[in-house]
């Protein structure tokens, strides 16, 4: 029995009909539409014989028991941002159902297969992404902060969760779900333009970028725009401007997909008749290698000190947020490459800029890999998000091959 990838495309269209409108997907986590999508998924899986359970964090699991308790996990998220695309997150869940059907049709598998629909990957309503996967991975440690979160209509996060039967204080109990996990697989749309620009339908994801975010404050001296000669100015904006251009060179020199962004500069006093006294600059740097990321940060700091000296101003750095790169499993990356090559004749390895549920699972120590399928125009989180149907079908087949290789590997003692 083989997978029927065209069925996955039809089912994704049915989900779009059921939970979208003229502005796009509306499956925001913890809402009635989200619950309707979960109920739809429940009915879709029913005839595979996989057993449904909902864990302490609201994650929806479908378990096909095998000869061994050790489990290969296939994950995705059916929640969307408001006015979202029709594929983000749900592609993998629906493709995973097709893989479950294939495996169930072949009798009892040697290891257990579990499909997980993570709860609230997007964080669209309360601003906290990766809710369910971080609870399961044991990395949720911000419950005090979560208790204070309120949505636009004034509903508190704990109340929204309680309405769906989830108790925030018990959510980390979801951790037990990963006790038997041997490996984790996730298929996702790329949400960027790289595969399309290379003319490739699919790629294997090496891991998720590490991120360094800083606020850089430049201190100069406000002075009259008419009476201050050019060589007497202490212009805070000049430092920020030089750094905004320099980080592009730093990213270029680093190469390998490294990116640096100066996302904004706020100037004081910010009037047309004064030299800028204070410029607050935001910097975001990302790379897959912790060493290269640290080097990019050091280069930017050194450059900022040089510019401060050149402009006779002061510069101050403050870290806003950071996360280390999360690297996926080498063996599974190899299986992913084999699967992609088998269905498309080509393969390509690429990093992920966005974080995904897979990153949470990976950093909890479970061998993990992701496949990306091409996104048209690189667009996502909009109703314009799209992928060619033939590429979606290749993606389903690639996920199925990757799952088969992973099942054989874990049955043989591979994985955690």
Binding positions for Zn ion, rule: CB under 5 A: 88-89
Smallest separation (angstroms) from Zn ion to the CB of 89: 4
The nearer residue to Zn ion, 89 or 336, going by C-beta atoms, is 89
Cis peptide before 210 (omega within 30 of 0): no
Rank residues 66 and 89 by Cβ distance to Zn ion and give the closer one. 89
Could you say which DSSP state residue 355 is in? -
Residue 244 CA to residue 282 CA, distance in Å, equals 10
Task: Compute the least distance from the CB of residue 88 to Zn ion, in Å.
Answer: 4
Between residues 208 and 262, which has the closer beta carbon with respect to Zn ion? Answer: 208
- Check: CB of residue 72 under 8 Å from CB of residue 112: yes
- Candidates 295, 283, 287; CA nearest to 326 is 287
274 secondary structure, DSSP code: B
Copy the structure tokens of residue 197: 């620009």
| Closest residue to bound Zn ion by CB | 89
The span from the CA of 343 to the CA of 254, in Å, is 33
Do residues 82 and 130 make contact, with C-beta atoms less than 8 angstroms apart?
no
Whose tokens are 């008749």? That residue is 273
Shortest separation between residue 171's beta carbon and Zn ion, angstroms: 20
Nearer to Zn ion, 75 or 89 (CB): 89
Residue 284 beta carbon to Zn ion: minimum distance, rounded to whole angstroms: 20
Integer Cα distance of 66 and 71 in angstroms: 8
Q: Say how many C-beta atoms besides its own lie within 10 A of residue 330's C-beta.
A: 10
Pairing outcome for strands 259-268 and 60-64: unpaired
Nearest approach, Cβ of residue 344 and Zn ion (Å)? 22
DSSP state of 50: P
CB of 205 vs Zn ion, minimal distance in Å: 13
Tokens representing residue 143 in the block: 């419950």
Q: Would you say 131 or 307 has its CB closer to Zn ion?
A: 131
| Cβ distance to Zn ion smaller for residue 88 or 337 | 88
Q: Least distance to Zn ion from the beta carbon of 156, Å?
A: 25
Give CA angle at 202 (372, 341), nearest 5°: 130
The nearer residue to Zn ion, 88 or 98, going by C-beta atoms, is 88
């Amino acid at each position: 029995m083989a997978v029927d990838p065209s069925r996955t495309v039809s089912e994704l269209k049915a989900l779009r009909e059921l939970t979208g409108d003229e502005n796009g997907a509306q499956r925001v986590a913890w809402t009635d539409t989200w619950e309707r999508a979960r109920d739809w998924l429940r009915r879709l899986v029913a005839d595979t014989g996989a057993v449904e359970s909902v864990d302490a964090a609201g994650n929806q699991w479908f378990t096909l028991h095998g000869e061994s308790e050790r489990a290969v996990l296939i994950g995705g998220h059916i929640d969307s941002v408001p006015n979202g695309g029709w594929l983000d997150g749900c592609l993998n869940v629906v493709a995973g159902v097709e893989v479950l059907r294939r495996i169930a049709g072949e009798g009892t598998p040697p290891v257990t297969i579990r499909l997980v629909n993570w709860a609230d990957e997007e964080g669209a309503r309360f601003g906290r992404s990766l809710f369910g996967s971080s609870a399961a991975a044991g990395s949720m440690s911000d419950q005090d902060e979560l208790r204070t979160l309120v949505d636009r209509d004034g509903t508190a996060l704990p109340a929204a969760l309680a309405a769906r039967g989830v108790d925030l204080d018990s959510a980390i109990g979801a951790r037990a779900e990963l006790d038997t996990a041997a490996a984790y697989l996730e298929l996702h749309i790329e949400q960027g333009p790289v595969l399309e620009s290379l003319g490739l339908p699919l790629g294997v994801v090496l891991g998720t970028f590490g991120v360094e975010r800083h606020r850089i404050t430049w201190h100069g001296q406000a002075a009259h725009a008419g009476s201050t000669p050019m060589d007497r100015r202490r212009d805070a904006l000049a430092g920020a401007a030089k750094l905004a251009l320099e980080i592009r060179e730093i990213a270029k020199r680093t190469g390998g997909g490294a990116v640096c962004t100066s996302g904004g500069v706020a100037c004081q006093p910010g009037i047309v008749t004064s030299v800028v006294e204070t410029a607050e600059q935001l910097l975001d740097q990302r790379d897959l290698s912790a060493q290269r990321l640290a080097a990019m940060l050091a280069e930017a700091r050194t450059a900022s000190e040089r510019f401060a000296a050149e402009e006779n101003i002061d510069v101050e750095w403050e870290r806003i947020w950071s996360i280390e790169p999360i690297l996926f499993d080498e063996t599974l990356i190899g299986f992913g490459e084999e699967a992609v090559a088998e269905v498309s004749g080509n393969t390509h390895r690429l990093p992920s800029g966005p974080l995904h549920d897979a990153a949470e699972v990976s950093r909890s120590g479970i061998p993990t890999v992701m496949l990306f399928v091409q996104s048209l125009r690189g667009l996502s989180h909009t109703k314009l998000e799209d992928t060619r149907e033939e590429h979606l079908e290749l993606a389903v087949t690639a996920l199925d091959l990757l799952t088969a290789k992973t099942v054989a590997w874990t049955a043989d003692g591979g994985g955690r």
